Amino acid sequence: MIDQLKSKLEDLELKKQDMKPKIDEINARREEELQDINKKYDHLISEISVEIENFENELNNELIQSFENIVMQEFDTKRSTSMYSITDGFKAYRNSIAEFDLFPKELLDRLDKVIDGAPIDNLAYDLENIKGKYTKS
């Protein structure tokens, strides 16, 4: 009986060895198909990610444009009045824009400095550099 079990055990090992190339072939095919599927879905994810990134860049650029607009509006107000003080619109803009996580903290600080008494002129003259630094394409 032990000899029969040993014989069957040897048969089992032979069958495993016979099946190993077939299993390896199947695994190789599976790996190729998985790579194809991954490429397909990676491409789809990439397309969606680009769409989101473009939308985020567009929103960011609109925020920077609003910053430029409020600074120039305040600068024009200063130039047109002899008794200049920060307008309520400028202060309201600063408080409102802080709600946007995308809005650069450095620009919030620059708005705060103007509200605290720094000349708006310095900020207005630096707008091109600010746009260059924060505008995204």
The single residue listed with the structure tokens 């620009």 is 107
CA–CA gap between residue 61 and residue 53 (Å, rounded): 12
CA–CA gap between residue 33 and residue 6 (Å, rounded): 40
Rounded mean pLDDT of 18-33? 93
pTM: predicted TM-score of the whole model, two decimal places: 0.70
Q: Is the pLDDT of residue 80 over 90?
A: no
Rounded mean pLDDT of 84-95? 91
Q: Quick one: tokens of 71?
A: 């600074």
pLDDT tens digits along 40-72: 899 889 988 999 999 999 999 999 999 999 999
Q: Are 67 and 104 in contact (CB under 8 A)?
A: no
Average pLDDT, the chain: 91
Q: Is the pLDDT of residue 84 over 80?
A: no
Instruction: Give whole-number Cα distances, 73 to 4, 33, 62, 69, 137, in Å.
Output: 98, 60, 16, 6, 25
What is the identity of the amino acid at 137? S
Q: Are 76 and 70 in contact (CB under 8 A)?
A: no
Q: Count up the domains in the chain and report the number.
A: 1
Range of the domain at 124: 2-134
Taking the C-alpha atoms of 94, 97, 103 and 104 in order, what is their torsion angle to the nearest 10 degrees? 10
Instruction: Give whole-number Cα distances, 102 to 53, 58, 137, in Å.
Output: 12, 11, 15
